[in-house]
Every structure is written in C-alpha cells, then in structure tokens.
Amino acid sequence: MNIEIRRYFYGDIPGDEAGGNSAAPKNAPNEKAWPLWEIFIRSKQGLDHKHAGSLHAADARMAIENARDVYTRRMEGVSIWAVESKNIHASNPDDAAAFYEPAQDKIYRHPTFYDLPEELKHM
C-alpha cells in the first residue's frame, strides 16, 4: 500500500525539510553511548512502583539521580527503581490472543458468575 503522508508534523515543520527520519539506530561516531534505563516510581508509601519512562545514564546511581530530576520535580515520588532496559523481558503482543486464551472461558472465576437469592446479605 502506497501512502501519502501529510507532511506537517509538530505543527509548523514541513516533512521534506524536517530530516531526522532515520528509524534504524546508527552507531554514534567515536562515542560510547550511555545505556538506557527503565524508571519505576512509587508515588507514595503503600502504593506499587509504576513505570514512569526511561532515560540514559552511565550507571545505576546516575540513573536514579537523573530519574529524580526528570520524573519527580513536583514530589511525584518517594522511591525510585532503575532497571537497565536490556534486563526487561516482555511478553510478545503478537501472541496475546493465544497467550491469554486460557483465562477467556473461565467466567466461573468471577463472583458475578453465581446467581444467589436477593435475601442473602453480607456476601
């Protein structure tokens, strides 16, 4: 399928002038890139850490310090986890249908599956 893309993206910049379209990562010339880290933030005591985004840092300590500056400038967190992105394993979205299929036909796992008399209280 041949698609004509409309050539204005962030508002005012026409596509043919815009550049930056190299989807494939190139190796940066003579410079070692800092690895990518995924950042998880606990917004307050009692809640789970939640994925906030990612950032680059040379090591774990820098990742946590950068995460403080990037993701908690307005007291959004009381605890930070940093995990190097290469250590994250993920399920494959293409397999989602088959992968989660066993849960599909087991509606008896939900409380609403059971018809009970109206008079029954506290259940």
Partner 1 sequence: MSVHELEAQFQRKIDAEVKIEPRDWMPEAYRKTNIRQISQHAHSEIVGMLPEGNWITRAPSLKRKAILLAKVQDEAGHGLYLYSAAETLGAARETMIDDLNSGKAKYSSIFNYPTLTWADMGAIGWLVDGAAILNQVMLCRTSYGPYARANVRICKEESFHQRQGFESLLVLSKGSAEQKAMCQDAIDRWWWPSLMMFGPKDSESTNNDQSIHWKIKRKTNDELRQQFVDMIAEQVKLLGMTLPDQHLKWNAERQHFDFGEINWEEFWNVVKGNGPCNKQRLAARNKAHDEGAWVRAAAVAYAEKSNERSQNNHNSWAAA
CB of 110 to partner 1, least distance (A): 23
SS3 content of the chain, % helix, strand, coil (to 5): 30, 20, 50
**What's 47-94 look like in SS3?**
CCEEEEEEEECCCHHHHHHHHHHHHCCCCCCCEEEEEEHHHCCCCCHH
- Tokens in use for 17? 């002038």
Q: Which residue, 33, 75, 77, 74, is CA-closest to 52?
A: 77
Number of residues near partner 1 (by CB under 8 A)? 45
Q: Which of residues 17-36 bind partner 1 (CB under 8 A)?
A: 17-26, 28, 31-34, 36
Q: Does 47 interact with partner 1 (rule: CB under 8 A)?
A: no
65 binds partner 1 (CB under 8 A): no
Q: Check residue 11 for interaction with partner 1 (CB under 8 A).
A: yes
- State the residues that interact with partner 1 by CB under 8 A: 1, 3-15, 17-26, 28, 31-34, 36, 53-56, 58-59, 62, 69-70, 73-74, 90, 92-94
